[in-house]
Structure formats: C-alpha cells, structure tokens
Amino acid sequence: MSALQGIRVVEMAGLAPAPFCGMILADFGADVVRVDRVGAGSMDQLARGKRSVAVNLKDPAGVETVLRLAAQADVLLEPYRPGVMERLGLGPEIATARNPRLVYARLTGFGQDGPYASMAGHDINYIAISGALSLIGRKGEVPLAPVNLLGDFAGGGMLCALGICLALLERAHSGKGQVIDAAMVDGAAYLASFVYKFRNSGMWRDERGTNMLDSAAPFYDNYRTKDGQFMSVGAIEPQFYTALLHGLGLDAAVMPHQMDQSKWAETKQRFADLFAAKTREEWCAVFDGTDACVAPILNMWEVADHPHTGARGVVLKDAHGKPEPAPAPRLSRTPGDGSRPLPQVGADTRAVLRGFGFGDAEVEQLFASGAVG
C-alpha cells in the first residue's frame, strides 16, 4: 500500500518545478499521467514513475481527450503562464465543471495575478522579489543564487505538492476540489519566514554577510582543506563550539568569546589556517562521532559511498547505475518508491486511454486523426 495509492494525477508536461511536483506524487504512489506533446523528444529526468500520453493540444479532439482524463482524475497539475490553459480550452472553470472533485494545481513563478503575472521569469527572478535572494552571499559581494533549488524546487514543486495533499485532505471532508495558486515567489518568501521574523525582532541585520547564519560567524561557515575539499561548520551552541575548538586543537580559555563579533574575522582566519593544514579525510577522522557540528561537504557522486548517507540509502541508482535521490520523507508503513523507470514519450497512450474508459475503436480513431500519438 502506498500513501497516495488510488490518486489519479494528470500532469501537463513542463520543465523543472511541475515535473518535480508530479514526481513526488508518483514516488508516493499516485498514478501520474503526464500529457506530452505528440512528436516530443526524450522525456525529462523528473518523470520517474509516471506514465506518458502524447496529445496534440492544437486538435480539438486532443483537448477533449485531456478533459476526459481530468474528469476522472483527482488532480490536474499545470505549469503554464496564466491564461494558457484557458486559451487551450482546459481552464479550471471548464475542468471543474465536469469534475467538481478535481484539485486543479497551477504552478507558476509570479502567480496567477499581480503586475508580474504574465511576465517571463526564472528561479533567480522569483527568489529575487521574494526577498530570499537578498539574504544569500557574503559581505560586500553580489547576492548568490543557490542554483535553482530555492524557487523552482523548494518554493515551487515541493510546496505545490504540499498544497495538493492539503486540498485532497480537505476534499475528504467537503467532497469538493479547489484551485491551487502555487507561485514560486510566494513559496520562496514563505521559506524565508524564519529570517523575516528574526529581522522583525531586531535579531537580523539587513547587510548581507554580517549575521550569524549568513557567513559572518566563524563557527557557521565552510572551510577549505589541504586537498582542496571543504568542511562545513555549524557549531552554534556553546557546548558544540567547545567541541569544535577541542577538535581544532585550540584552548577555549585563551580564545575570544564565541559571541565577540569584533573578533569574528580574526577567529575565522585562524580556523581557515587550521582547516587548510589537513585533508578533508583527516578532519573527518577528527570530527566524525563528535558534537562539534562539523561535516564534510560531499560532491553528488560521493553521497552514495559516505558512511552515513550510504547506510541510509539517501541516493539510489537509476536504470543506468547513476545516483539519484531516494524519496523523502520516510514513511514507516507506506514509504515512497523511487525505483520505477522513466517512461518514453507517448508509450502509455493506449493503456492510459483504455484505463480511463476510452473504447478500442475510439482510441484507434484518435491515433488515426493525429489527436494522440
């Protein structure tokens, strides 16, 4: 039994955030049917565990096919700019009129309304106006975008999946679906709630790189090792800081007080010199098993073989033997399954349509007309 077993999801093909959202649902047991374009090339890498139907959305019969799928689905997930689904004839008013129980999830960067709603953008733009990007980077340097993890995948795909689960839970009581406006701007701002609230209470400075958690503190930063690798340090609490000093071979009695910010730069340089004197492996031998809050910064290809992440199976191997993250979080009775392969575009068209009640002759007619493929 899977956590989302019996939940049918129709996912309109898109890039990055929406496919990730759909993959989360698929990993935990939902039957995710991805609507790809007829003639599309290879499947993107976030289609694990999904099935693919190829549909021509320029053909009225193709549009009607998607509406019939949505009429029997629990969730419709779409990644387009506002108005695109309406122009296709697949907007929420039409879809929910046929299926009042449908959870219609709309995942965009800027949201369904507001002056920026119709503008093009990417993760870096969404986290920029959320306030989150302004927090990331060192003092005196330009803000540093954290790849596209914060907007696309955390504030976008992950929170959209949460919204879908919340709507499904509410539907169990009301019997009604609803429309979800999942905007990456909103999500990135929500993820920054901790810093917003710290700033409101006077515990966070506006100047980047001057706060305890944004690289100013010597006990919360990353350090280069002798072999060109890196160690992370997060020894915030006094007892953890004492353990850090002990591991570095420093006498706490003669060191500046941990919270003496006037000495942070001096202490950081001392830490940097010490970390640079040993390899990453040597520092792991010193700190592994201690409460110093020190851990190696692993490259993605190292995670599978690290003693901790390897033991927990944080990553698994795909069909080609390459590492990819396992589903998270871990449920004791109904865990996620990340072992299913990627589909080929349109490979499941016939099986999906028949499973959704299309007759054999009807399916073949759709193929013959080019409405599906």
**Residues annotated catalytic, as ranges:** 122, 152
Whole-angstrom distance, CA of residue 58 vs CA of residue 271: 62
* Paired strand residues for 10: 33, 76
Whole-angstrom distance, CA of residue 138 vs CA of residue 110: 27
What is residue 267's DSSP assignment? H
Q: List, as one string, the DSSP characters of 165-205.
A: HHHHHHHHHH----EEEEEHHHHHHHHTHHHHHHHHTT-S-
Q: List, as one string, the DSSP characters of 82-108.
A: TTHHHHHT--HHHHHHH-TT-EEEEEE
Q: Read off the amino acid at residue 135.
A: L
Task: Report the C-alpha dihedral over residues 69, 71, 73, 78, rounded to 10 degrees.
Answer: 70
Whole-Å CA distances, 235 to 198, 221, 275: 19, 9, 15
CB atoms closer than 10 angstroms to residue 298: 18
Whole-Å CA distances, 6 to 48, 72, 206, 244, 342: 18, 12, 48, 50, 20
- Token pair 């005196």 in the structure block, residue: 140
* Maximum Cα interatomic distance, the chain, rounded to a whole number of Å: 85
What is residue 256's DSSP assignment? P
What is residue 60's DSSP assignment? H
Whole-angstrom distance, CA of residue 64 vs CA of residue 90: 9
Q: Rounded to an integer, what is the distance from CA 234 to the centroid of its chain?
A: 23
Q: Read off the amino acid at residue 239.
A: Q
